[in-house]
């Protein structure tokens, strides 16, 4: 299949012109953003969105101006986790104003554009087969529009919550000219390590993206009766050894964190001194240190 760049005649839609205009708008928007950080894993369900939402809160509480892009177009969860699902987006001739969390974090997500809970994202095409073929291209286009049309204003950090899949970082790296850093999320299972390794190879060896480090999520849980740390998974390999990257923190499973994500309340506001709370704050601090050096 030819890419849009190779189309000799695009039936008058000037697709290259449209894409170039969008890309220029995105570059202009990001001029006022100091650091962009992608949160990726490759593996699904390991806590990328939970960590993005809580890192955004930690950085906001540390006094930074923070924005979050929910780059999961088909399965967006950031708006719910950050308590802004009911927000109405304001449109102006200059762009869209992002939703703002109770603590002041700016958020843009496909979820804010869907009218009903159960509404799926469907790509328009003559047949569903064509829609599948174009999905990746459409996703990149939607993200380019999302990031470029949002009035972020001055931000210290723009966090990008990626969907699962090793091909997601290349899509974002193509869009964002100076991606500042990547935080990799895993859980301590061999199955997760297997997939995460592929994403790291993609990020480090193929894209040459700056990797800040690895977060081991759901590393253990703390027994509420005896306070002992119990493992949830059974990987024999440590992330240090499996990935040869800095481990930023080990975040335990905390049912209160899951509850806060479900109810859209900021976990770190209520539980900053828990094991998970301290670990998330440690990751936020290390991200800030990464950009200072």
Compute the distance between CA of residue 96 and CA of residue 83 in angstroms, rounded to an integer: 19
CA-CA distances (angstroms) from residue 36 to 90, 94, 114, 175, 267?
24, 22, 26, 12, 23
Count of CB atoms situated within 10 Å of the CB of 101:
24
Of the candidate spans 58-66, 120-128, 201-209, 246-254, the one that interacts with ligand ATP by CB under 6 A turns out to be 246-254
Note whether 199 binds Mg ion by CB under 5 A: no
Compute the distance between CA of residue 29 and CA of residue 153 in angstroms, rounded to an integer: 8
Q: How far is the CB of 71 from ligand ATP (least distance, A)?
A: 10
Compute the distance between CA of residue 9 and CA of residue 44 in angstroms, rounded to an integer: 39
Which of 35, 39, 47, 49 binds Mg ion (CB under 5 A)? It is 49
Specify the residue, 80 or 106, whose C-beta has the smaller distance to Mg ion.
80
Specify the residue, 112 or 276, whose C-beta has the smaller distance to ligand ATP.
276
**What binding mask, one character per residue, do residues 261-280 give for ligand ATP by CB under 6 A, x or -?**
x--------------x----
Task: Let me know: does 189 contact 293? Beta carbons within 8 Å.
Answer: no
Note whether 101 binds ligand ATP by CB under 6 A: no
User: Which residue stretches of the chain are H helix?
Assistant: 15-30, 48-61, 78-81, 128-149, 168-175, 190-200, 239-243, 255-263, 267-270, 275-292
Which of 107, 147, 215, 218 binds ligand ATP (CB under 6 A)? It is 218
Q: How far is the CB of 125 from ligand ATP (least distance, A)?
A: 24
Which of 4, 7, 14, 45 binds ligand ATP (CB under 6 A)? It is 45
Catalog residues that contact ligand ATP under the rule CB under 6 A.
41, 44-50, 72, 75, 77, 163-164, 217-218, 251, 253-254, 257-258, 261, 276
């Amino acid at each position: 299949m030819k890419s849009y760049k190779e189309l000799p005649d695009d039936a008058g839609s000037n697709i290259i012109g449209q894409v170039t205009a969008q890309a220029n708008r995105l570059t202009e928007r990001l001029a006022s953003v100091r650091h962009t950080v992608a949160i990726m894993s490759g593996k699904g369900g390991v806590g990328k969105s939970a960590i993005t939402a809580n890192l955004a809160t930690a950085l906001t509480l540390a006094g930074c101006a923070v924005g979050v892009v929910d780059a999961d177009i088909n399965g967006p969860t950031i708006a719910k986790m950050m308590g802004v699902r009911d927000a109405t987006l304001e449109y102006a001739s200059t762009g869209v104003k992002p939703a703002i969390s109770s603590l002041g974090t700016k958020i843009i997500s496909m979820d804010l554009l869907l009218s009903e809970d159960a509404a799926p994202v469907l790509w328009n095409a003559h047949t569903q087969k064509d829609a599948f073929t174009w999905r990746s291209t459409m996703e990149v286009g939607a993200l380019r529009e999302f990031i470029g049309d949002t009035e972020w204003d001055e931000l210290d950090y723009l966090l990008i919550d990626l969907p699962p899949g090793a091909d997601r970082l290349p899509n974002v790296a193509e869009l964002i000219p100076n991606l500042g850093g990547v935080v990799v999320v895993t859980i301590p299972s061999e199955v997760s390590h297997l997939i995460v390794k592929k994403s790291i190879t993609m990020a480090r060896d193929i894209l040459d993206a700056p990797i800040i480090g690895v977060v081991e999520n759901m590393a253990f849980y703390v027994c509420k009766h005896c306070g002992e740390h119990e493992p949830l998974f059974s990987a024999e390999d440590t992330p240090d050894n499996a990935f040869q990257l800095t481990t930023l923190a080990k975040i335990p499973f905390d049912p209160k964190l899951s509850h806060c994500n479900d109810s859209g309340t900021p976990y770190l506001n209520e539980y900053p001194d828990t094991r998970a709370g301290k670990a998330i704050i440690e990751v936020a601090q290390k991200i800030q240190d990464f950009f200072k050096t």
